[in-house]
A and B are shown apart, each in its own frame.
Chain A
Amino acid sequence: MKDTIEIRWHGRGGQGAKTAALLLADVAFKTGKYVQGFPEYGPERMGAPITAYNRLSDRPITIHSNIYEPDLVAVVDDSLLEAIDVTHGLSPEGAIIVNSQKPKEEILPHLRGFQGRVFVIDARAISVKALGRYFPNSPMLAAVVAVSGVMERDVFLQEMRASYQHKFAKKPEVIDGNMKALELTFEALR
């Protein structure tokens, strides 16, 4: 087992891939990990492809480069699959999570022969069911935690409730919805 888990996020500007990476760093930090969460910046435009990264470890992390051989890739927007080689550098022991409403069979041909584990998660359906609106972050975050095993489900949920209570202090009505989105994601991946 590697002592550092490396994760690469692919999204489009404005969709929250960077926020998801920072949320993951936050929740892993709270469980005692050493963390890094950082975006790769280019020209900042809504809708342009963006990349964000996480390193999570039980030991201090000094590396400040981007991640080229991730253990896990999270794709927040399936329209990126045609534009970007999202599996680049991903080892066959690794895994990829794709947010899509399409069935897995339609996603696989875009993964350029990737041999590892593939998870397709319909974050839109989950988010709409749980929150009434489409916010892909919570389902994607739960999926990354579930697939990476970086922390226990119950610890994760407990920390996320505390986070949401802090983040949505002025909008308590969305706390339960977000928690529901996390739980539905765990169920969907079971």
Chain B
Amino acid sequence: MAIRERLSGNEAVAYAIKQINPDVMPAFPITPSTEIPQYVANYIANGEIDTEFIHVESEHSAMSATLGASAAGARALTATSSCGMALMWEELYVAASDRLPIVLALVNRALTGPININADHSDSMGARDSGWIQIYAESNQEVYDNFLQAFPIAEDARVHLPVMVCQDGFITSHGVENILLVEDEKVKELVGEYHPEHFLLNGKEPMAVGPYAVSNYYMETKRAQREAMKNAKEVILELAARFEEMTGRHYGFFEEYRMEDAEYVIVIIGSAAGTCKAAIEKIRQTTGKKVGLCKIRVFRPFPEEELAEVLKDRKAIAIMDRSEMFAATSGPLGAEVRAALQSAKSQAEVVNYFYGLGGRDITVEDFERVYERLEQIAETHVIEDMYDYIGLRSRD
């Protein structure tokens, strides 16, 4: 029987770490992820797990120590947010190219400028090209479930890539919600013992990790990373299937909510999807209009074909970005989904919204207005502002 609990998102991740009992966790505190290493340190101090906790002097060192531990053959992880991850930038790429199966608990927060501690996706979206697998969550339940699946995905021989398990700062990290925890023995069965094939501390197989690669070799390593990312798709689905068998909870690359007949669709990532679901229920009950949601769970690798297949024949689609990329056109999700629709020769009308930057709240009523606009666009085929905002204060 699953264990009924109520936990914050940070508590849920720390609890997953406790159940996994990894070998090494170097970490440096930053709001809103600080509680994760804090709770883990408590578990260690209480003798509940024997993870080696390394106190480091910065996030640059946190990811460096995680790399070192992972290369040595340990199951290693760290946690951070925002500017903390920005300071890991160099090492993010090293982790991916060295093919180290590290897991990063990322609590999404806006990057500084102006200083802001609240939720948005600019930290992880900025790192979308670093070679990490990225998995996002709507709720505390999902970030916990995703975390349990992360190490087996990362460590699979077909993958060998680091995984970023993302949740929205404060909204889920500091919000207490009901959650179903998986029993310890089931977690052990799912995650298993870590036996790396190649590792630095193996005296029988001397090797180098992260050496210089001249032009004759560099490009092939990038091609190999790309292949691993492709392989990750099947491994992610395999893990989801095993997890579903264990818990009854279904996961895929994205969640389709009321999509069976949906004509007007929102594509979104993270906690706001739950608010969108409430809007969908309200609209369907009061008007019967066919509204639905595609919530992206796996952003890297990007499920281009699968998503296009689900979206291509809808009447109108709003793609919602919680970060900027300053193309002066799309946001990162907008660009990817639009490209997917283009490949599938979709005729659907598409609009791209920016919302929730720096923690700006988004409500059920906001989503209702988006669906109203989609309906209007589908009727008129006129899109006045292809790239629009939700919740932006007016100039006057």
Contact = CB atoms under 8 A, between A and B. Distances in A.
Do A and B interact? yes
Interface of A: 22, 25-26, 29, 34-39, 41, 60-66, 68
B175 A36 contact: yes
7 contacts: A35-B177, A36-B177, A39-B170, A41-B118, A62-B139, A64-B168, A64-B271
Given A29-B178, A61-B177, A38 B171 contact: yes
Given A25-B6, A41-B118, A41-B170, A65 B178 contact: no
Nearest to A55: B177
B275 interface: yes
B174 interface: yes
B361 A65 contact: yes
A66 B172 CA distance: 12
B176 interface: yes
Contact of B172 (A35, A39, A64, A65): A64
Interface residues of B, number: 26
Nearest to A32: B4
B117 A22 contact: no
Contact of B274 (A26, A34, A39, A64): A64
B364 A38 contact: no
B277 interface: yes
Contacts of A68: 363
A34 B359 CA distance: 24
A89 to B, nearest CB: 12
B177 A39 contact: no
Contacts of A65: 275, 361-364
A60 B362 CA distance: 19
Contacts of B170: 38-39, 41
Interface string B342-386: 000000000000000001011110000000000000000000000
B278 interface: yes
B272 interface: yes
Contacts of A63: 274-275, 278, 364
Interface in B108-123: 117-118
A64 B271 CA distance: 6
B176 A25 contact: yes
B6 A62 contact: no
Nearest to A41: B170
Contacts of A38: 170-171, 174-176
A41 B361 CA distance: 12
A62 B277 contact: yes
Chain B CB within 10 A, most for which of A22, A25, A60, A65? A65
B171 A64 contact: yes
A151 B359 CA distance: 33
Contacts of B363: 65-66, 68
Given A37-B176, A62-B278, A64-B272, A29 B118 contact: no
Contacts of A39: 170, 174
Given A35-B176, A62-B275, A64-B139, 6 more contacts: A35-B178, A41-B174, A62-B278, A64-B274, A65-B275, A66-B361
Contacts of A62: 138-139, 274-275, 277-278
Contacts of B359: 41
Contacts of A29: 6, 178
A68 B359 CA distance: 16
A39 B170 CA distance: 8
A35 B6 contact: yes
Contacts of A25: 6, 176
A41 B8 CA distance: 15
A34 B176 CA distance: 10
Contacts of A22: 176
A135 B274 CA distance: 35
A68 to B, nearest CB: 7
Contacts of B271: 64
Interface string B266-291: 00000110110110000000000000
A34 B107 CA distance: 24
Contacts of B362: 65
A22 B117 CA distance: 21
8 closest Cβ pairs, A-B complex:
A38-B175, A62-B274, A29-B6, A64-B271, A37-B176, A65-B363, A62-B277, A63-B278
